[in-house]
């Protein structure tokens, strides 16, 4: 490894956590959507609860789409960075081994 620092494991773990969170939030919003809003009382309140559940479901659906696949991207980025770092290390080592003029 060269002098560069890249926290590969931490980046991969963060990406997996983000991806999993998007899925869990989508599941929670679908549970909320299935809730019976008629139990909250007044019809306007029921309508507001239904609208809120719909907007959360849409928002978390979008978030889930955005976070899906982020782990693959983080894995690939980490792999490429580590390759580049190894190449840099090898070149620096070669350069240091050459006699000075």
Q: Which helix (H) or strand (E) holds 72?
A: helix 70-97
Task: Kindly report the average pLDDT of the chain as a whole number.
Answer: 80
What is the percent of the chain with per-residue pLDDT over 90, rounded to a whole number? Answer: 7
Q: Which residues contact 88 (CB under 8 A, 6 or more apart)?
A: 2, 4
Q: Which residues contact 84 (CB under 8 A, 6 or more apart)?
A: none
Question: Which pLDDT belongs to residue 3?
Answer: 66
Q: Indicate whether 3 belongs to any domain.
A: no
Q: Could you report the per-residue pLDDT of 64-101, keeping only the tens digit for each?
A: 777 777 888 888 888 898 899 899 989 989 988 887 76
User: Considering its fold, how many domains does the chain have in total?
Assistant: 1
Stated length of the chain: 101
Question: Which pLDDT belongs to residue 99?
Answer: 79
Q: Indicate whether 2 belongs to any domain.
A: no
Range(s) of the domain holding residue 73:
8-97
Q: Indicate whether 1 belongs to any domain.
A: no
Q: Could you report the per-residue pLDDT of 26-44, keeping only the tens digit for each?
A: 787 777 777 776 766 778 8
Phi, psi of 94 (to 5 degrees): -60, -45
Report DSSP state, residue 98: S
Question: Which pLDDT belongs to residue 87?
Answer: 92
């Amino acid at each position: 490894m060269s002098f560069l620092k890249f926290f590969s494991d931490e980046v991969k773990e963060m990406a997996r956590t983000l991806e999993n969170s998007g899925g869990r939030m989508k599941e929670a919003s679908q549970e909320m959507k299935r809730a019976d809003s008629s139990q909250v009382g007044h019809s306007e309140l029921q309508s507001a609860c239904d609208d809120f559940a719909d907007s959360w479901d849409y928002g978390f659906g979008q978030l889930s789409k955005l976070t899906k696949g982020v782990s693959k991207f983080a894995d690939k980025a980490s792999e490429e960075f580590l390759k580049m770092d190894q190449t840099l290390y090898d070149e620096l080592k070669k350069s240091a081994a050459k006699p000075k003029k």
